[in-house]
Chain A
């Protein structure tokens, strides 16, 4: 459907809906339920240079209108992703996929991206400099403009694929980080990763999560995410992907009005495995209701 199409770094998406990394695995569990080729694309499980088990359990806690996770980047490592996951994915997903990459040093990010750059199936590299659940890496690159720029430059030097930097909301001035990434050559920005939070069990009087803190996601974060997307989209000249608590076609449109060219859906996939399909199905009707001809027309409209 033409009216749902959008561009992301010179690649046309059939629609703006993209399952977010960490909530969709490598797509397999969802491909058993529906044809995931209806998606704009999806961002696969955050991949690191070496395999990782992640944090001890409990890794999940609930809160009002959302959840906390402290998975800690469990993944099979980039070599297993290239040798196993990508060939398997070819059978059930036929569009360019978004590779989500994380690391613990600038060299880590560059080495992982260099390996993924050779993979034809990958359309974009989404570089996560914002994971709140790992120590000695992850978010520390996303909370300092200089470090964020350094990762961006290192990754850009090893790939021809569009590089999208995924930002952390756990900062005082997200616009300065986004601008630093843009100046360092980023092709796009995605935001927001989860907000740092915690829960305490009243019976045990101990933190619920083994990692003590975790990342908050779900509808609870939507207004924060929308505000940050609005601020960043208004300050940079590269495409912005909005995410954070998006659960409905209305949320997708709100994010696009704030300036997002595409929208990632995260926690909603965990509570309803059909969430993305429902959002895509509902978009045309919701657009009709609000007098929207094509989604391209409304990107950033709230800034005017």
Chain B
């Protein structure tokens, strides 16, 4: 983990409520796709944990949805704004287990962390399939970006207004060696049931500190109690215990 000041380079809307922010700063502490940063915002007491979408040298990209006061404040930020970030938080995805044909499944704002993952896997020569799900056509983002990487991309929408009608689990390919997923909990549960290989899930939880001190985001797993912020957010399929 590292605390440092980043500068906003770009902050643009991707949909009505989803924004992409590019920041410039010391990214050295970020070691794996699926990690997150924790952003301090003036006037908000707690930091905002947001997953890393992409990373290139000193450039860091995050994609976030404006849902509350903090993210709405972020959406209004202009280039040049300085932000205090904790970087390199969480375990991130383990790429070594992917096999040759990994499948990436993302839903809504669970899609962004899969981007850096897809890029890294493709750089390793893997044949990557990506299925990204949204509620409706005008909420779709990142499709072209995944295609530009060379991934095989399928988009699903719950109302059928774009791509395959249904959920990401309605578009599963016949063959894949492993999977990685991130999205809302109902989607993760559906993925857990529908997938036939091992895989990794990234979880979301309300956090206090984001670095393992407060026990605010603990969950029970097959291998004991884990802190989503520190021992997660990525858990292996075999260790998940779903809440009743």
B109 within 8 A of A: no
Query: B-facing mask of A32-64, CB < 8 A → 1, else 0?
Result: 110000000000010000000110111111111
The distance in angstroms between the C-alpha atoms of A60 and B207, with both chains bound, is 6
Query: Is there contact, CB below 8 Å, between A60 and B86?
Result: no
The distance in angstroms between the C-alpha atoms of A43 and B86, with both chains bound, is 24
Of B40, B86, B218, the contact of A57 (CB 8 Å cutoff): B218
Query: Which residues of A sit under 8 angstroms from B46, Cβ to Cβ?
Result: 60, 62, 67, 270-271
Query: Is there contact, CB below 8 Å, between B213 and A29?
Result: yes
Query: Is there contact, CB below 8 Å, between A60 and B214?
Result: yes
Query: A-facing mask of B204-225, CB < 8 A → 1, else 0?
Result: 0111110111111111100001
Query: Which residues of A sit under 8 angstroms from B208, Cβ to Cβ?
Result: 59-60, 67, 69, 270
B78 within 8 A of A: no
Instruction: Specify the chain A residue showing the minimal Cβ separation from B209.
Output: A270
Of A22, A53, A56, A274, the contact of B214 (CB 8 Å cutoff): A22
Query: Is there contact, CB below 8 Å, between A58 and B205?
Result: yes
Query: Which residues of B sit under 8 angstroms from A272, Cβ to Cβ?
Result: 3, 40
Decide yes or no: A69 and B216 within 8 Å by CB, A63-B45, A273-B211 being known contacts: yes
Q: Is the interface of A mostly helix, strand, loop or mixed?
A: loop
Decide yes or no: A25 and B45 within 8 Å by CB, A58-B206, A74-B218 being known contacts: no
Query: Is there contact, CB below 8 Å, between A273 and B86?
Result: yes
The distance in angstroms between the C-alpha atoms of A67 and B211, with both chains bound, is 17
B96 within 8 A of A: no
Query: Which residues of A sit under 8 angstroms from B220, Cβ to Cβ?
Result: 53
Query: Which residues of A sit under 8 angstroms from B219, Cβ to Cβ?
Result: 57
A30 within 8 A of B: yes
Query: Which residues of A sit under 8 angstroms from B119, Cβ to Cβ?
Result: none
The A65-82 residues at the B interface (CB cut-off 8 A) are 65-67, 69, 71, 74
The distance in angstroms between the C-alpha atoms of A208 and B205, with both chains bound, is 12
Interface residues on A, range: 35 or more
Decide yes or no: A25 and B218 within 8 Å by CB, A63-B45, A274-B3 being known contacts: no
B124 within 8 A of A: no
Decide yes or no: A30 and B225 within 8 Å by CB, A54-B218, A271-B47 being known contacts: no
Instruction: Specify the chain B residue showing the minimal Cβ separation from A66.
Output: B45
B148 within 8 A of A: no
Decide yes or no: A53 and B225 within 8 Å by CB, A30-B213, A60-B216 being known contacts: yes
A168 within 8 A of B: no
Query: Which residues of B sit under 8 angstroms from A121, Cβ to Cβ?
Result: none
Decide yes or no: A23 and B206 within 8 Å by CB, A56-B243, A67-B46, A74-B225 being known contacts: no
B230 within 8 A of A: yes
Query: Which residues of A sit under 8 angstroms from B194, Cβ to Cβ?
Result: none
**A275 CB, min distance to chain B CBs, angstroms:** 11
Query: Is there contact, CB below 8 Å, between A25 and B212?
Result: yes
The distance in angstroms between the C-alpha atoms of A218 and B44, with both chains bound, is 12
Q: Knowing that A25-B213, A33-B3 are A-B contacts, what are 11 other residue pairs whose CB atoms are under 8 Å apart, sorted by A's residue number?
A: A24-B213, A32-B1, A57-B205, A57-B206, A58-B206, A59-B218, A62-B46, A71-B214, A71-B215, A270-B209, A270-B214
Give A contacts to B, CB under 8 Å.
22-25, 29-30, 32-33, 45, 53-54, 56-67, 69, 71, 74, 208, 218-219, 267, 269-274
- Of the A-B pairs whose beta carbons lie under 8 Å apart in the complex, a sample of 5, sorted by A's number, is A25-B212, A59-B217, A64-B45, A69-B216, A74-B215
